[in-house]
Amino acid sequence: MRVCVLGAGVVGLATAWTLSEAGCEVVVADGATTVGQGASAGNGAQLSYNFVAPFASPDTLRHLPALLWDGAAPVRLKPQFNMDFLRWNLAFLRNCTSRKVRETTAAQLALGALSRAELDIVEKAAELSFCRRVAGKLVVYRERGSFAAGRRDAEAQRGIGAEQIVLDGAECLREEPGLRIAPGLLQGGVYTQSEELGDSAAFCEGLAAKLSQRNTVSFVMGGQVTPLLREGKLVAVRANGADIAADCFVLCFGSGSARFARACGFRLPIQPMKGYSFTFRPRTPSDELRHSVTDADRKIVFAPLDRPDGQVIRAAGIADLVGEDRSIDPKRLAAVRKGTEDALDVDLDSDPIGWTGLRPATPDSRPIIGPSPVPGLLLNTGHGALGWTLACGSARLAVQLLLGQEPSVRAADFAYGR
Ligand SMILES: Cc1cc2nc3c(=O)[nH]c(=O)nc-3n(C[C@H](O)[C@H](O)[C@H](O)COP(=O)(O)OP(=O)(O)OC[C@H]3O[C@@H](n4cnc5c(N)ncnc54)[C@H](O)[C@@H]3O)c2cc1C
């Protein structure tokens, strides 16, 4: 079977690999000139298998007025007057219930477990090196109220997720000596030993290099990809002035997926959620981090990536629902820089530019995996804030659905129109 994978981000490449391993002929098509250039390039590097709670929740609903009016909040919503945006927001509000949060958390934990197992397989089979390690994750809280909520979440997740340990402020600083938050400013934290991290850009680069060595895999890079339909079926796509025909197409265009779907004649509930990151060097070896750290009240994550030439710390944050706009807002970028300065001792000149990317966000935070309304087009997109974490499990599920195999997780939880 010849399959065309639309997108060379982490989700598209994981899908291409899984298809190729299953014996398919694969073509990967992407508008960028190299792989892993979208949201997969500079993300937070967290393989966050246990922190999968959705953004839509009763708690988010309570804070919505502040999000709408506080320009400095780590989450920002710019109202847009188009039907897709309005529909997305209404669906988001419908998902802000405790029942939906429970449903989504259970579905994502299952996909997370599958993803961890699949990443083990891909890493070994493709002999990849991408700074992956079990670093453990420490979520620290500055506010009394948020610490109480974090502690409640840890209790609620006991039994369905990994074992989590609640620490007081002093214990947090002992566990993570690289933290530079004054003891009096820390209420406490929650530590999860089993959490991992890894560099998704290095994963993309390594996997693409391995795929390129196979004569059953090809890449068509650089040039917008548009659909060619015949009698309502997707039969080919146009890229770089040439037509690519295939038996099936898998849509992995991340935040560009909704536009492609519109061109095919259906709606995908995906909105771009913009975030920012820096990749800093710790100032001295004693400023290096042992673990992934999340500064919960500032909503910034720090991931220590141990590269051959020394540690770098990826600092990522901000979630702005501001449309398909890739421009850097200097004030939002500065907030991540300031948040880093307030928590760690890094050389701020080691990354003077920073990075921005668009998370492909669905209203319930779950990816959309499975058949689309258009014959010939399968969906594997909408991974929001967890695309790196969920890429390999999503690829497995998509390929199982494509080849008519028994799915490893409940496919209905991720179906289009669920
Ligand atoms: C600041 C930030 C921090 C994050 N932190 C984490 C984290 O710590 N852990 C985690 O698991 N996830 C994280 N994420 C989310 C994760 O990065 C994304 O979910 C993931 O990268 C999505 O992968 P993708 O392959 O679907 O999309 P992308 O990586 O965006 O790839 C999509 C590709 O499609 C191409 N494309 C789109 N439209 C077209 C078109 N019409 N024609 C041709 N090509 C097209 C693009 O060029 C791009 O290469 C973060 C995201 C951001 C922005």
pLDDT tens for each residue of 203-241? 999 999 999 999 999 999 999 999 999 999 999 999 989
In this predicted structure, what is the pLDDT of residue 344? Answer: 98
Asked if 149 and 59 count as a contact pair (C-beta separation under 8 A), the reply is yes
Whether residue 30 has pLDDT greater than 90 = yes
Whether 37 is in the pocket of ligand 1, judged by its Cβ within 6 Å, is yes
In whole angstroms, what is the distance from residue 109 CA to residue 121 CA?
Answer: 19
- pLDDT bin (cut points 50, 70, 90) of residue 74 is confident
Whether 141 is in the pocket of ligand 1, judged by its Cβ within 6 Å, is no
Whether residue 404 has pLDDT greater than 70 = yes
Asked if 9 and 254 count as a contact pair (C-beta separation under 8 A), the reply is yes
Report the nearest-CA residue for atom 21 of ligand 1: 40
pLDDT tens for each residue of 184-210? 999 999 999 999 999 999 999 999 999
Listed range (55-69, 148-162, 292-306) with the worst mean pLDDT: 148-162
In whole angstroms, what is the distance from residue 125 CA to residue 148 CA?
Answer: 43
Mean predicted confidence (pLDDT) in 325-348? 96
In this predicted structure, what is the pLDDT of residue 160? Answer: 62
Query: In a mutational test of the pocket of ligand 1, which residue from 13, 131, 237, 253 has the highest number of ligand atoms less than 8 Å from its CB?
Result: 253
Whether 112 is in the pocket of ligand 1, judged by its Cβ within 6 Å, is no
User: What fold does the segment set 2-41+202-270+364-414 form as a domain?
Assistant: FAD/NAD(P)-binding domain (3.50.50)
Tell me the DSSP string of 310-326.
Answer: EEEEEEEEEEEE--S--
Whether 53 is in the pocket of ligand 1, judged by its Cβ within 6 Å, is no
In this predicted structure, what is the pLDDT of residue 161? Answer: 59
Report the nearest-CA residue for atom 20 of ligand 1: 387
Whether 35 is in the pocket of ligand 1, judged by its Cβ within 6 Å, is no
- Overall residue count recorded for the chain in this entry: 418
* 3-state SS assignment for residue 177: coil
In whole angstroms, what is the distance from residue 411 CA to residue 266 CA?
Answer: 21
Mean predicted confidence (pLDDT) in 263-291? 97
Whether residue 365 has pLDDT greater than 90 = yes
In this predicted structure, what is the pLDDT of residue 65? Answer: 81
Give the domain ranges of the chain: 2-41+202-270+364-414, 55-97+131-197+271-361
Strands (E), 175-270: 188-192, 196-197, 217-221, 226-230, 233-239, 242-245, 248-251
Beta-bridged to residue 141, according to DSSP, are: 188
Whether 359 is in the pocket of ligand 1, judged by its Cβ within 6 Å, is yes
* 3-state SS assignment for residue 396: helix
User: What fold does the segment set 55-97+131-197+271-361 form as a domain?
Assistant: D-Amino Acid Oxidase; Chain A, domain 2 (3.30.9)
Asked if 416 and 367 count as a contact pair (C-beta separation under 8 A), the reply is no
Q: CB-based contacts of 71: which residues, under 8 Å, 6+ apart?
A: none
Query: What's the 227 CA to ligand 1 centre distance in angstroms?
Result: 20
Whether 137 is in the pocket of ligand 1, judged by its Cβ within 6 Å, is no
**Residue 30 CA: which ligand 1 atom is closest?**
44
Mean predicted confidence (pLDDT) in 406-413? 98
In whole angstroms, what is the distance from residue 138 CA to residue 176 CA?
Answer: 8
274 residue type, one letter: K
**Residue 46 CA: which ligand 1 atom is closest?**
8
Topology alike, domains 2-41+202-270+364-414 and 55-97+131-197+271-361: no
Helix pair angle (98-125, 10-21), 10° resolution: 60
Burial label, 417 (beta-carbon count in 10 A; 0-12, 13-18, 19+): exposed
Edge-first strand listing for the sheet containing 46-47: 46-47, 196-197, 133-134
Query: What's the 319 CA to ligand 1 centre distance in angstroms?
Result: 14
Start-to-end CA distance of the chain, whole Å, equals 28
Whether 206 is in the pocket of ligand 1, judged by its Cβ within 6 Å, is no
Asked if 178 and 136 count as a contact pair (C-beta separation under 8 A), the reply is no
In whole angstroms, what is the distance from residue 79 CA to residue 85 CA?
Answer: 8
Mean model confidence pLDDT for the chain = 95
pLDDT tens for each residue of 115-169? 999 999 999 999 999 999 999 999 999 999 999 989 988 887 776 656 789 999 9
Q: CB-based contacts of 238: which residues, under 8 Å, 6+ apart?
A: 225, 226, 227, 228, 244
Task: Compute how many other C-beta atoms are within 10 angstroms of the C-beta atom of residue 141.
Answer: 23
Whether 378 is in the pocket of ligand 1, judged by its Cβ within 6 Å, is no
Beta-bridged to residue 218, according to DSSP, are: 27
In this predicted structure, what is the pLDDT of residue 1? Answer: 97
Q: Which two tokens stand for residue 267?
A: 């709606």
Mean predicted confidence (pLDDT) in 295-318? 96
In this predicted structure, what is the pLDDT of residue 47? Answer: 97
